[in-house]
Every structure is written in C-alpha cells, then in structure tokens.
Structure 1
Amino acid sequence: MGIKAFFSKLFAAVAVRDINRWKYSAPAAQEKTLQLLIKKAAATKFGRDHDFASIKSYEDFKARVPVADYEDLKPYIEQVLHGEEDVLWPGKPLYFAKTSGTTSGVKYIPISKESMPQHIKAARNALLSYIHETGKADFVDGKMIFLQGSPKMEKKSGIAFGRLSGIVANHVPAYLQKNRLPSYQVNCIEDWEQKVDAIVEETAKEDMRLISGIPPWCQMYFDRLLAKTAKQQVKDVFPNFKLFVYGGVNYEPYRARIEETIGFKIDSIETYPASEGFIAFQDSQKDKSLLLLADAGIFYEFIPADEYYNAQPSRLSLGEVELNKNYAIVLSTTAGLWAYSLGDTVKFVSKNPYKLLVTGRIKHYISAFGEHVIGEEVEAALLNVAKEHRLEITEFTVAPQVNPPKGELPYHEWFVEFVKAPADLNAFASAVDHALQQKNIYYKDLISGAVLQPLVIRELEKDAFINFMRGEGKLGGQNKVPRLANERLLADKLSAYIKK
C-alpha cells in the first residue's frame, strides 16, 4: 500500500464521520440550510424583491418565492452578467457555468465562492465513502482519468465562465494533480474526437486505476484505446483499473457493454452533479441509490411529477416526501438560485437516510395520447427484455408517431442501435411492448383500446448516434441523447440512420 492510499483511509474515516452527523437527521439539516440562505441573501436585490426579511418558515418561503425556471430568473442573471453586485447572492459569482438550454439557448448558471467548495467536497466524499466501506484505496496510488470539458475560461464582466467539468478541473486538489490525466494541454482540446485520440495517446502506457466520465463517451475512449493498442479488453491495457465513476445519464443501458469492454464487473460509483449544485452520490456498493446531500448549501423542494404542470402544484420539503413516488426536484442554493426547477425527476427509496434514484427529466416524456410514459419506464422495459434475449443496446430514443402513413393507428417509434441485433426484430419489439404495458397502465389501456398500435422498433446503423451527435456539433463533453420526447425533432433526424 502506498502512502497516499494509507492516508486516504484515515481521511475517509473522518469524512464519513462528518457525513453521519447529518445523514440521519436530514430534514433538520434542511431547515437550518433554508434559514441560513434567507439570512445571507436578505439584502440582495432578489431578497428585497421577495421580502426575505419577513420569511420565518418554509410556508413563508413558498408564499413569497415562486418556483422558477431559467427564463424566470434570467432578468436577475442578466444584471449580474452586466457587472452588478448583490443581485441574487451577496457580491459577484466566482464563475458562471455555461450550459445549453433547449428553450433558453445558452444558460449562465452562477457558482459562488460558497457553492464551489461543495462541488469539490461532494466529489471527494463519494470516493472517500467508497474507500471507507470497501477498504480499497490502492487506486489513489495510480493514475486517474477524468473525461471532461476544457478547463479554459472566458470572461464576462470580470467573471470567468466555462463548462462545469472544466471549472471543476481547475480545483482538483494538489495531492491528486500528479496522478490526474489528461494533461492540461490535452484537456484544452475543443474537438472531442481529437481530444479522445490525444487522451488515448497520453494514457495508453500509464497505470490507469480510476476512470471517470459520462458512460457513452467513456465507451468511445475505451473503443479507441483498444483500437490503438490492439488489445481485446481494457483490463489487458490497464491491469490495475479498479474503479469507474460516472454521472449525467443512467448507467444501466451502457453497463453490459462497458463491462464486456473492460473485461470484468468493475466497482462503480454514480454521482449526481449539476451546474446548479452537487446533489447526491452513491455512498455504498451494496445498493445503487444515491445519498441526498442535505448539508451542502442547497435547500431542496419536491413537486409531485404528475402535478408539475398544474396551476398550483404541491411543493414539499424533504421531510414531506413519500417513498417510490416521482418528484420534480427544485433547488435554492448558496449561488443565488431560488426555487429553481432543475428539470430532473427523482424518487426516494429510503428515508433513513434519504436516498434516491434519478428517474428522468420532467420534460422528457411521451403523452401524445395521455399515456405519460417516462424515461424510467422505457429504460426498464427495453433493458429487461434485452437482458432476457442476451442482447446489448448501444443507445436508443423514443418518440410518438402521431400521423403514420396509410391510415395506420399511431404508435411509439423506438430508434435503437444494437451491439448485436435480435434475430427476430418484430418478436423483440412485441416483448418490449408487453413489458412497457406492465410498467404503464395508461399505455396498456391505449393498446387494448386500439387507440395505439404496439410500438415499432427501427434498427439504426452502427455508430448512428455518434454520427448524429457529430453532425449536430454535440459530440462528447456533457452532451447527452434524450431518451424520449413528446415531439419528433430528434426522431425525424434519426430516420436518416435507419439500417437499410
């Protein structure tokens, strides 16, 4: 055991002890967080506009601060972008995380001197929790790859901005810098394919032990690594590779292929970071749920997903949530976001401690006929059937076909790229349709009532999604393919990639 591994075990014990101080009393930690946020921001423009001085309780907060999306907060953010201080949070932000919005174009999400350390602390504690539980710390003595955005920053009104992963890259602790790859120069390459090739060149002969990134882009790195080294599996290139850290998308659609590419079932840690805040991480290898970070400068609210588009949806604090129910997650943060609707949906699987699963995006659903099929349902239906048939899925997305040709009944159209296609695609589609009906009673009623015909699967060409993302200028980085949509913008473009 190396010196870093030895001390990391001691550090892990301290970190887990600190986590346990709030882990089993999360609602109380949340009440304290809300009071601290309100007190700190009372003199800001937003605080004055919403009478923070009179807020004494969560009920007061709900009465004065409406749920907001980026467009609602944009007038305040614009003031900050023009150099004004004390607008959403005291002073000016430390950074703006630049993200791409579907309705707002480019978004600038503020990150403050108070919120930035929480991003680093959460990522660190995810690793330390793993070390404490498993006793496995040798990975810290080897090299680590973080597949992320460029750390180069630009400036607006004296405030640096860039992609979240690039911002975080500038804050990697000094004790990890010598272990960390890619190099700064390679990390600054903007073209994703050139960057992946350069990372392969830089890492192929190193002692890589931890690899972190969004699963589909890690798969691309693995594929190019094996092509470069002429090896069959990643374990032949990196015999000491021990830990895979991921976030951003559900890992399950990629797990089988990634583990086959690696050559064994590797330990993995799921994290739930967002530009708006680091929300949760997997703190145990014994289950896949994520520990909600209730003491990290974020006050959480939850809106029942089926009420989200109501005129007056319920707003619940952490202590009011129920298990196994889908909620849209809402954040107020030490970066000056207030009742901000993140767009994600989660469900809690434990309340002692509060642990959750990410189930999808509130805007990513299909309800062209009132079925309200969500991401969790389509993923489970496809993956369970694929597992039964011993098939692997590279990527997929689903959209409604409302006006099919020749007078057919409407249907859900699935665009699927297989590692290996089923021998009988129609039989496979029928099995997936049956599985989806078991997941969603409204969909089942529409099928049995002959409002919809069973779903149709379109097999896509090899590398269809990579080629599509390349054509859209969204290859790599934090970009992800939506699993489902209630319209056909993506589906119509993917039609060009249907296997002939």
Structure 2
Amino acid sequence: MRSDHITESPFKMNIVHLLLKCLAPVARRFELQTKDPICAQKKILFEYLRRNKNTEYGKKYKFSSIRSIEDFQERVPFSNYENLRLMVERMAAGAKNVLTADRPVFFGRTSGTTGKPKLIPVTRYSRNKKAQLMALWTYYISRDHPGTTSGKVFVIIDPEVKLTTKSGIPCGPENGHAYVNLPAIIKRGCAIPYEIFEIEGYNARYYTILRIAIEHDVTTLATLNPSAIIILCQKIKRWKDRIIDDIEKGTLDQNFDIPERIRAIAEKRLKPNPTRARELRRILNEKGELLPKDFWPNLKLIECWKGGTMRLYLEGLDRYFGQTPIRDFGCLSTETRSSIPITDEGAGGILAINTNFYEFIPKEDMHKAERRAVLCDRLEKDKEYLLIVTTPGGLYRYDTDDVIRVDGFFNKTPVIEFMQKGLNAISLSGEKVYESHINEAINAANKGLKLVIKFFSASVQMEKPPRYIFLVEFTDDPSLDKKKALLRSIEDELCLINLEYEDTRQRQELNSPILKVARKDEFEKFRSKRVAEGAHETQFKIPQLVRDPEFQKNFIIEEEIFLE
C-alpha cells in the first residue's frame, strides 16, 4: 500500500469532479455574501420570521410586524434551553406550530445545564440548511486536498441511540443518526460499517474499529474530538500483534465480546490478507512500532476540532501522523453550525452568515443583568464574545453558551474560533459539565453519606487525558472509606446527570477524577485573601466549578483519593 502505487478509481474521480463543479457556484455566492454580511444576515433573519410568523412563538412576539433588526432585538428576548424546555417537550409530544411551522423529524439529544437532557428540534428544512454548510465545508476540503477520497474515509462517531419521543419522533445523538442516513454512494467510501459503533464494550468496539481500519488504505480520518484519535493510537500498541494476525487470517478476534449480529456483519467484509499483514510486520520490524503515518502513507487529511481545550490533544498527533494536515470542523453543535473553516491554518472559520442570524455579547458583559448584543459587522479582532443565534430550527436569540474569539476577517465577515463554554461550564473533551451538574452531583452523592462538607469546588488537571479534580474541606475528619465512597458516588452521579461525561469517561477521553482533601480552614484563608484584594465580602463566593488548572494551588492539600 505504498503511496506511489495508489491510483484513484475513475468512479471516485468523477464524484469529486462533480462535487467541485456543483458546489463551486455555491462557494462563489457565499464568498460574495461575505463582502456585505449584514445584507446576508437581514435576508436570513426575515426568511425565518416570515416562515414561522404563525407559530405560537411567532404570534407571541408578533413576528409578522417586525420590520428591522432593531425591532427584532427589542421585541424578542434572549432565550436559553430552560426557557424553551416546556415548548420543546410539547413539540416532542406531537404539538404543531410551536416554535417552527415545520414538523420536527428528529430531536438531537444532548446534555443540558440541568441534569435533564436537551432535545433540539430538527426539521427537514433546518437539516437541509445545516447540510448545505457541510457541503460547503466539504467543497473547500476537496479543493485543497483532492486526494481525500482516493482511499477509504475513516469516520469515528457515537452510535445512534434509537429512542423516540411520545409521538414517535426519533431522537438521539445527531452524528450517529446522520451516519446511519448517509446516501449509499457515500457509505461505500467509509471504512467502518455503522453497526460496529453499536458494540457496547469500548475495548471490543475499539479493537474491531482498528482491526478493520488498519487493513484499509485510509486517506481521510474524521472525528469531532481529537482525543478519540489519540486513544485509538495508544491502543494499537497494545493490540498490534492480534490485529496483524486477524488481518492475515481474515478473522475477528473471538476473545472480544461482540454481538453475533454485528460480528456477522463485520466478518462478511473480511477475508485473508497476508500481503497487508506482511507489510504491517515489515513496518513493525523496521520502525519498532506501528504508527498511522507508516501504515497509512496516503492519509491526506485529519478532520477534527482544533480550538479551545482540543489544542491539548493536537500536540500529540504529530508523533502518530507526522505532518498530516488537520482541518477544523468549525463551530458545530447539536443546535447549530456557525462557521466554515476554509484552510488548515488555525481553528478559525468564516461565520456562516447564510444559514443563521447571529448576535454577539462581549465576554465581559455576558453575565451582566443588561446584556448588550452587537452584530457581526461590529466585532473586533482578537476579542471574545458569547455567541447568540437564531436558527432555522426554531431557536430565537438563543444563548449557545459558547464563547468565540474573532481571529480576523474574510472580506468583511468575521473568522471565528471556539474558545470555551460559558464561564459556568467546562468541556475538556466534549462533555460540557456545568456548575449546576457539580452542585447536583455533590448533593446527591452526600445524601446517604451525610458528611459535613465545609467547602467543595471542582477544577481540572490538564494532562493526557485530562481529569476533573474535586477539592473538598471537611468540618470533621471522616474515615478513608467514607472519602472513597464520596468520590465514587460523585462520579456515579455525574454519569447519571451528564450523558456526555459518562461517554467520555467510558471512551477514556477523560481520566478518572481525584478527590483532593484540603487542610482545615484553607478555603476560609482563600476567601479572606480575595476580600483583602478587593472582592466584596458579602457577595464573594467560591465557585463550584473552576476552569483554571492553577486554582488548586491556592490550597494546601492533605490527602488525595483516587478511584479504585
């Protein structure tokens, strides 16, 4: 599978050529719009207001009589999911014309600021709008890296959770649902059949993914979270001999617990491949290890998030992939896609002005009672803002809780990069832990133990993979067993409260948490120090969630408790 021996099939060449030909006018139109972003923003806003003027929400805020952006901002309040939860739950139960004129065909399920998951309505119209942005992003990749489809595309996703609402509408993780519903012509180019991602045991799933992928000539590797890539690369070292043996024999290791239905689907694709096995053994003998840069010499591009805390993982990719280019996915969530990266440099993407209407609250104002929102033509380079969106899916002036930075401008349109979740949330690996999650978890964890906790705060420890640190000061001196029980219970409660936290822990993208017991009166000393520095004594409180890894250094730690 040497790089000088590969040729792209005529079929794939035709597909790429057709893609570029069809999307080139779309890209030119988008780039033309970036010269006057406010014009594009007005057009998209009033398209959504007209479309949804007869919904409950549209009637409540009189969409039909809104004549300007200023009217819209004065009449329609900022919203967040908790403001909309009851309306969305009614939509999930079958109610029509609530937030959108179009009926939802799917609900994206993700963690919320409370322990209850969010259900984000997806209509055919909003799905098509999001798909148009995906196609545009793909166009720029195909333009810059025409060899990305010459071999297999290795995509890592979450499995589709086959749930339905009371009215029978499917709901679950959006990326799994999208993978299942890919057109057959695109599925042919994917290395891993969807069913493999349904394997429940993580080691069994990872092994099967690697066993299949390593046999292929992979030219594109795509997953949102780069930590998943690092984990797979680390597991290759552990399983390299078993994988090579399986490839040689055309088998799938029987020692892994894989449901018969899925095993049959996988094995149907397998056949003995001694040539590939010899090549892998040669690489192993020559290099002393099995690295993707050696066994996938034709890999053209890695597609993953690069901004915010993801930089921690990018530093480790060079060892495994050499100088393979990396393209950011852009600001992408269940609620919306907000940017389109058109280069491999950095993590910034052009604001997607043709799909959502955007407002921005300066970071320093985001927690003020009176929040001042500006439009995209008033943004300043290198400044950070809270992102507010109005989407085709029925979210109006919606607080994404995403803080973005303006990296520059493409024509007159901002190039934005995701920096972090809002100040009351941390997302080290996509888990989105909110302060309310921590508060709920510690209260539930201590309900049975009844420990007397003087102060409690959660922070982070940036290592590979990163982990959460639970700082605690007890009034009394509980036994070691009770401290261990508290840590275990906090972990269990967080997994129950936050689906993404549980997933990232199981995928080993987050290390196990540590309980750090502070010496008596440490938190009071910290409080006194902050008051002496100018904090208001009656208002000061130590937050229960702190993103600064240096925060724990403010306290003398007497004991560290690890999960067993």
* TM surpasses 0.5: yes
Which of 143, 154, 163 is residue 154 of structure 1 equivalent to?
163
Q: 1:202, CA displacement in angstroms?
A: 1.9
The residue type paired with residue 8 of structure 1 is V
**Within 1, Cα distance between the matches of 2:124 and 2:398?**
19
The residue type paired with residue 154 of structure 1 is L
Q: State the secondary structure of the residue aligned to 1:277.
A: coil
Which of 317, 323, 343 is residue 258 of structure 1 equivalent to?
317
User: Mean Cα displacement is larger for which, 81-90 or 471-480?
Assistant: 471-480
* Contact 1:269/1:281, CA 8 A, preserved across alignment: no
**Is the counterpart of residue 359 in structure 1 residue 419 in structure 2?**
yes
Which of 151, 161, 180 is residue 190 of structure 2 equivalent to?
180
**Number of corresponding residues:** 412
Alignment of 1:76-225 (within 5 A): 76-132=87-143, 134=144, 136-156=145-165, 157-213=167-223, 214-225=225-236
Q: 1:414, CA displacement in angstroms?
A: 5.6
Q: For residue 70 of structure 2, what is the aligned residue in structure 1?
A: 59
Q: State the secondary structure of the residue aligned to 1:278.
A: coil
* Contact 1:149/1:477, CA 8 A, preserved across alignment: no
Flag the 1:69–1:477 CA change in 2: closer, same or farther, 3 A: farther
**Within 1, Cα distance between the matches of 2:345 and 2:543?**
36
The residue type paired with residue 182 of structure 1 is I
User: Mean Cα displacement is larger for which, 330-339 or 189-198?
Assistant: 189-198
* Contact 1:210/1:245, CA 8 A, preserved across alignment: yes
Once the two structures are superposed, residues 408-467 of structure 1 have per-residue CA deviations (whole angstroms, 9 ceiling, x without a partner) of xxx997623259xxxxxxxxxxxxxxxxxxxxxxxxxxxxxxxxxxxxxxxxxxxxx9xx
Larger radius of gyration: 2
5+ residue gaps, structure 1, are: 366-373, 380-396, 400-410, 420-464
The residue type paired with residue 144 of structure 1 is V
Once the two structures are superposed, residues 342-399 of structure 1 have per-residue CA deviations (whole angstroms, 9 ceiling, x without a partner) of 010112122333211112111357xxxxxxxx99xxx9xxxxxxxxxxxxxxxxx9x9
Which of 498, 504, 510 is residue 475 of structure 1 equivalent to?
504
* Contact 1:210/1:243, CA 8 A, preserved across alignment: yes
Q: 1:55, CA displacement in angstroms?
A: 0.9
Q: For residue 19 of structure 2, what is the aligned residue in structure 1?
A: 11
Flag the 1:125–1:241 CA change in 2: closer, same or farther, 3 A: same
* Contact 1:303/1:327, CA 8 A, preserved across alignment: yes
User: Mean Cα displacement is larger for which, 278-287 or 251-260?
Assistant: 278-287
Alignment of 1:341-356 (within 5 A): 341-351=399-409, 352-356=412-416
Flag the 1:477–1:83 CA change in 2: closer, same or farther, 3 A: farther
Flag the 1:495–1:487 CA change in 2: closer, same or farther, 3 A: farther
* Contact 1:282/1:290, CA 8 A, preserved across alignment: yes
* Contact 1:33/1:295, CA 8 A, preserved across alignment: yes
Q: State the secondary structure of the residue aligned to 2:125.
A: coil
Which of 234, 246, 262 is residue 304 of structure 2 equivalent to?
246
**Within 1, Cα distance between the matches of 2:464 and 2:366?**
34
Q: For residue 61 of structure 2, what is the aligned residue in structure 1?
A: 50
The residue type paired with residue 502 of structure 2 is G
Flag the 1:309–1:472 CA change in 2: closer, same or farther, 3 A: closer
Which of 318, 339, 344 is residue 376 of structure 2 equivalent to?
318
The residue type paired with residue 200 of structure 1 is L
Flag the 1:308–1:286 CA change in 2: closer, same or farther, 3 A: closer
* Contact 1:9/1:131, CA 8 A, preserved across alignment: no
* Contact 1:94/1:111, CA 8 A, preserved across alignment: yes
The residue type paired with residue 39 of structure 1 is R
Q: 1:195, CA displacement in angstroms?
A: 2.2
Q: 1:138, CA displacement in angstroms?
A: 1.7
Once the two structures are superposed, residues 214-271 of structure 1 have per-residue CA deviations (whole angstroms, 9 ceiling, x without a partner) of 1111211222234333543112222212211013863321112112122x11111101
* Contact 1:120/1:172, CA 8 A, preserved across alignment: no
5+ residue gaps, structure 2, are: 1-7, 242-288, 436-456, 466-490, 512-541, 553-558
* Contact 2:228/2:507, CA 8 A, preserved across alignment: no
Q: 1:478, CA displacement in angstroms?
A: 9.9
**Within 2, Cα distance between the matches of 1:353 and 1:306?**
22
**Within 2, Cα distance between the matches of 1:325 and 1:45?**
37
Q: 1:486, CA displacement in angstroms?
A: 4.0
TM-score w.r.t. the length of structure 1 is 0.73
**Is the counterpart of residue 417 in structure 1 residue 468 in structure 2?**
no
Q: For residue 544 of structure 2, what is the aligned residue in structure 1?
A: 487
Flag the 1:318–1:481 CA change in 2: closer, same or farther, 3 A: farther
**Within 2, Cα distance between the matches of 1:125 and 1:160?**
27
* Contact 1:15/1:128, CA 8 A, preserved across alignment: no
Q: 1:185, CA displacement in angstroms?
A: 1.4
TM-score w.r.t. the length of structure 2 is 0.66
Alignment of 1:408-487 (within 5 A): 415-417=461-463, 473-475=502-504, 486-487=543-544
Q: State the secondary structure of the residue aligned to 1:334.
A: coil
**Within 2, Cα distance between the matches of 1:107 and 1:26?**
31
User: Mean Cα displacement is larger for which, 468-477 or 62-71?
Assistant: 468-477
Q: State the secondary structure of the residue aligned to 1:158.
A: coil
Q: 1:5, CA displacement in angstroms?
A: 3.5
The residue type paired with residue 126 of structure 1 is W
**Within 2, Cα distance between the matches of 1:268 and 1:22?**
27
Q: For residue 440 of structure 1, what is the aligned residue in structure 2?
A: none
The residue type paired with residue 205 of structure 1 is E
Q: 1:88, CA displacement in angstroms?
A: 0.3
Q: For residue 496 of structure 1, what is the aligned residue in structure 2?
A: 561
Q: 1:64, CA displacement in angstroms?
A: 1.6
* Contact 2:236/2:290, CA 8 A, preserved across alignment: no
CA RMSD of aligned residues (A): 3.8
**Within 2, Cα distance between the matches of 1:364 and 1:21?**
38
**Within 2, Cα distance between the matches of 1:69 and 1:39?**
22
**Within 2, Cα distance between the matches of 1:186 and 1:418?**
26
* Contact 2:61/2:76, CA 8 A, preserved across alignment: yes
Structure with greater strand share of residues: 1
Alignment of 1:232-381 (within 5 A): 232-247=290-305, 250=308, 251-262=310-321, 264-271=322-329, 272-296=331-355, 298-351=356-409, 352-364=412-424
**Within 2, Cα distance between the matches of 1:112 and 1:193?**
36
Alignment of 1:385-396 (within 5 A): none
Percent identity, aligned pairs only? 20
The residue type paired with residue 126 of structure 2 is S
